[in-house]
Amino acid sequence: MKKRLLSVALAAVMALPLSACQGSDKAEAPSGGNEASSSAEAAGVEAGNAGDAGTELPSFEGQELRISTFSFNAELVQKNIYDPFMEATGCKLIIETGKNAERVTKIKESPENYDVVVIGDAFIADLIDADLIDTVDTANLSNLEAVYDNAKAPFGEGYGPAYSFNRLGIVYDKSTCPIEITSWADLWNPELADSIAIPDITTTSGPLMYYSVAKMAGLTPGKDDDGILAKFEELKPNIMKTYTSANDTITMLNQGEVSVAVLLDYSYTAAQSASDDYVWVDPSEGVYSGFNAVNIIKGCKNKELAETFVDFYLSKEVQLAEALDGVDAPVRTDVELTPEQAANFTYGKEMIDNLLIPDWSVINANKADWIAKWNELFSVQ
């Protein structure tokens, strides 16, 4: 098969079409994106390329790949992944973004409109349960051996790899927050009335929040759900917003509408460029982790192209560029970052070995009940 060379000097020259296959949301990069991009460029990374002298990719001239993905950091992902991949392979990527739950609903309704989904763990589990995720031939993933073992097939052999770890923590504005926060338990302090934003149970971080509160209270998800929901009810006077968009929550923080937000680490990376007063907290009770993964939808018409795209997500070039731009923590063991570059990331063997992982089988078995009770509790939000 004809090969194209993806060189270090490759410039991102193709304009990414952000049109939807069906009712797409336009991707928006959060504030601070240009500053993050500059850090990567200062480190010698151009257009999402770093490290090796070049990477050969097959030619897929004239083929298309329809991708459902996050809107978060869209401009940087375009620079680091989409543009170089299209330039190197000759293919066309059609990108649809939106909120995670809405994207899953669209895929379930019209799976034929999608080839690849880039999404968080809870939503991959949902799509697997719906029998909509195809297997990946790991023999075609040349970069798989370079990633942490728990990123290779987090949902079992045959399913797509995780391309980034993340962890849930607390962010507070020390200029407006009346207390110092060090633990999950601090969120229940009455001095924080009407000042906290927490993730909705339907979001990527919602189940991690649920597990975090359960651990703090000495309760077990799936067994003590009434007690866990009671803790959220006790927290309700302090909650200004249960959010479904991290971008919107960062805006609320920047505008002073909330002084505390429960966020994933990569959201904090985007938020901190707005203020030096934002403080990240790894709560003392422990930190729950999730991951983002890239998978192929059943019925994908160009599966070889899709597998090449999955593999490209794990390449050293992409993993390093995304890390230097503050987009995603790398899962490759050979991507080395300075302490400054790794700040806020779920990065390094020691941290990854100490992460708490929720039981996704418990989440999937109880999700419908949790959502119903959550919506009843927060119906006025």
Statement: the pTM of the whole predicted model exceeds 0.75: no
pLDDT at res. 55: 64
Rounded average pLDDT per 10-residue block, the chain, 381 residues: 40 34 35 41 44 70 97 93 98 95 96 96 90 96 94 91 94 97 98 97 92 97 98 98 90 95 86 88 93 96 97 98 92 94 88 84 90 90 46
Element containing residue 363 per DSSP (H, E):
helix 360-377
Q: How many angstroms separate the CA atoms of 302 and 65, rounded?
A: 7
Q: Are residues 186 and 301 in the same domain?
A: no
**Residue 198: CATH number of its domain:** 3.40.190.10
What secondary structure letter does DSSP report for 28?
-
Q: Are residues 263 and 346 in the same domain?
A: no
Q: Are residues 244 and 186 in the same domain?
A: yes
Q: Are residues 171 and 236 in the same domain?
A: yes
Q: Are residues 144 and 244 in the same domain?
A: no
pLDDT at res. 56: 85
pLDDT at res. 59: 97
What is the span of the domain harbouring residue 212? Answer: 167-289+358-377
Degrees to nearest 5, angle at CA 315 with 17 and 154: 95
Q: How many angstroms separate the CA atoms of 299 and 152, rounded?
A: 23
Q: Are residues 320 and 335 in the same domain?
A: yes
Q: How many angstroms separate the CA atoms of 265 and 268, rounded?
A: 5
Structural domain total, the chain: 2
pLDDT at res. 122: 82
Q: Are residues 10 and 142 in the same domain?
A: yes
